[in-house]
Amino acid sequence: MLSKELIKKYGKLYSEELGINLASKKEKEIFKWFIASILYGKRISQQIARKTANLIINKYCLDTPEKILKAGWNKLVEILDEGGYVRYDFSTASRLLEICKELKAKYNSLENLHKKAFNPKDLEQKLIQFKGIGPITANIFLRELRPFWKKANPRPLKIVKETARKLKIDLLKLNRKTVKFIRLEAALIRYAKYSRSKSFLQKSN
């Protein structure tokens, strides 16, 4: 499959699915994606993560650190349960509150975090220093910000590189700091997961 066809079929950005406009570079939009990335980084289905992110940022409009902190633990647990985070509701609620507190205390905003980073690697390290944010979550957050944040430039995940190799797409020839690349990246992730689920169903039958 050609990259153009792949993008057309699977290349909608994960942020776009939630109505988040990262191209605006507005703090509120970036924070929404930050919260969504934390949820996507958890070992849980993408459907549940997307539903829960949609509830937090769109239904309940908890789109700033202040609003998350004001909502408090009980309300967050309630929303997480509504989204399907039944097994992880307590720990995820605590983590969201801790991260928002730390963000306010250390940087006040995500834009300031970006400004204080020396380079892309340092930006990733600053994110990973938050308790509860690992390399995968940092990658999810930064990859769709590549065209819009100067220092956002994480390496593609293993699943992206392996799928590209299978489809004979040379990622090294492409500019990672473009919207086209992040759409391709999203498309490769979806294609890989679709292929795996299709293979599983065939084996089951």
- At 193, the pLDDT band (50, 70, 90 cuts) reads confident
- At 195, the pLDDT band (50, 70, 90 cuts) reads confident
User: What is the reported pTM?
Assistant: 0.93
123 contact partners, CB below 8 Å, separation of at least 6: 113, 114, 117, 142, 149, 151, 152
User: How far apart, in whole angstroms, are the C-alpha atoms of residue 149 and residue 177?
Assistant: 9
For range 63-91, the mean pLDDT: 95
> Is 201's pLDDT higher than 50?
no
Domains in the chain (CATH in brackets) are 14-154 (1.10.340.30)
Q: What's 58's DSSP letter?
A: I
For range 51-73, the mean pLDDT: 98
> Is 205's pLDDT higher than 80?
no
Amino acid at 8: K
Which residue in the block uniquely carries the two structure tokens 């910000």? Answer: 145
